[in-house]
Chain A
Amino acid sequence: MFAHVDINNCYVSCETLFQPHLKGKVVVVLSNNDGCVIARSNEAKAIGIKMADAEFIVRKTLAEHDAVIFSSNYALYADMSARMMNNLARYTYMLMVYSIDEAFLALGNISGIDLETHVDMISRNVMRDTGLSITVGVGPTMALAKLANKASKKMKRDFLVLDTEAKINAAIKDFPIEDVWGIGRQYYEKLKDLGVVTAEDFRQLKPDLVRQQMTVQGWRLHQELWGIACNIIKDVAERSKGIESVRALTPTRPNWK
């Protein structure tokens, strides 16, 4: 069994941990050069601030709601992330740090353990020790664990365990295909033409068709949704390459909070 752990509103949570009076307020964290909104508190999500909205577009909305705006402080986030990962590592024999706020844990197949209570214990202990709230999704494969995590966020729960066939089927039935791990815009368009709307629809496709249309990655995802593990948990996640365009000079804004 795998667990996927994700820090809720990671950058905002790190900032509010040391200024708890900001809890319950509209808080956003901006990217480098204060360009885009990259983290939003639940309250900011509620007033319709979208991920990666440019700051100058939402400036008025933020001011209207008396929002607290932070520039990003990566030293803090990296330190909190390391503390989180070290805490998570206490509950598993294999931890894969997938990104700054996400990790996969191998839970093994321990018989006689109730996963619900075990995951509840992990989640409550880690939240108390680090002060950051997390969501945990558990499933027999990494794709299903990630799906469980997303589903539990939608249900506003702290964790969701998909350990039986029935639970998996129930979770997958109405799960939108575009939220599945590895389905980007291109595949989403392609699948829409095939009439695939939910993860269940995707699962009902023939494996050969998936293999032909979506390369081996799509086929692996298909297998994983059926509970056949294809991705293995590794100590170090392979870094994908990135490209960045930044301004060299930026005006200072002294009157910011």
Chain B
Amino acid sequence: MLRIRKQATKRDVLGFRLPMLTHEEPALDISDITVIDPDNTYYMRMGSDAMTGYYILPDHILVIDRALTPLPGSIVVFFHEGEFYTREFCPENGKLVLKGNTKHDTLILEDAQNWTCWGVVTLTLNPVIHPQHRIGRYIRVCAC
């Protein structure tokens, strides 16, 4: 997606410079507080309802940082045999527990050898736009 931002025009000022120009600041950018490490941040879309108890519903966007090491309680993305799993990271003596919404979604791994941590979820985006508003350019809200 291409977004064109209005550039502050450079002008050759004859005489005095407008005093207000010294107070110009760059526009606020939401990524300053959402994407801390842009080089190691990836985005994925939640595909299951295994994490509804954590307010992560299907179609939410996950912001994933690979540079972080998961701590107990982190929301992590794990990879195993062709599928990604988003769960809460709970290592328990010797076992790795990936907690989900219900018992059914919770994964208890005695042997986590084939499970690789893909990244740590730092933020989720929850589109709350009304379906009837999803027309025209508003189709793009949290769309891929």
Contact = CB atoms under 8 A, between A and B. Distances in A.
Contacts of A87: 39-40
Interface string A19-30: 011000000000
Interface in B60-103: 66-67, 79, 81-83
Given A20-B79, A21-B81, A87-B39, A129 B118 contact: no
B116 A128 contact: no
A90 to B, nearest CB: 9
Nearest to A22: B82
A167 interface: no
Nearest to A18: B42
Residue of B40, B67, B79, B83 contacting most chain A CB atoms (<10 Å): B40
A59 to B, nearest CB: 26
Interface residues of A, number: 10
A129 B79 contact: no
A20 B81 CA distance: 8
A130 B66 contact: yes
A130 B66 CA distance: 7
Interface string A129-140: 111000000000
A129 B67 contact: yes
B67 A20 contact: no
A21 B81 CA distance: 6
A18 B66 CA distance: 13
A129 B66 contact: yes
Interface of B: 39-40, 66-67, 79, 81-83, 116, 118
11 contacts: A20-B118, A21-B81, A21-B82, A86-B39, A87-B39, A87-B40, A128-B66, A129-B40, A129-B67, A130-B39, A130-B40
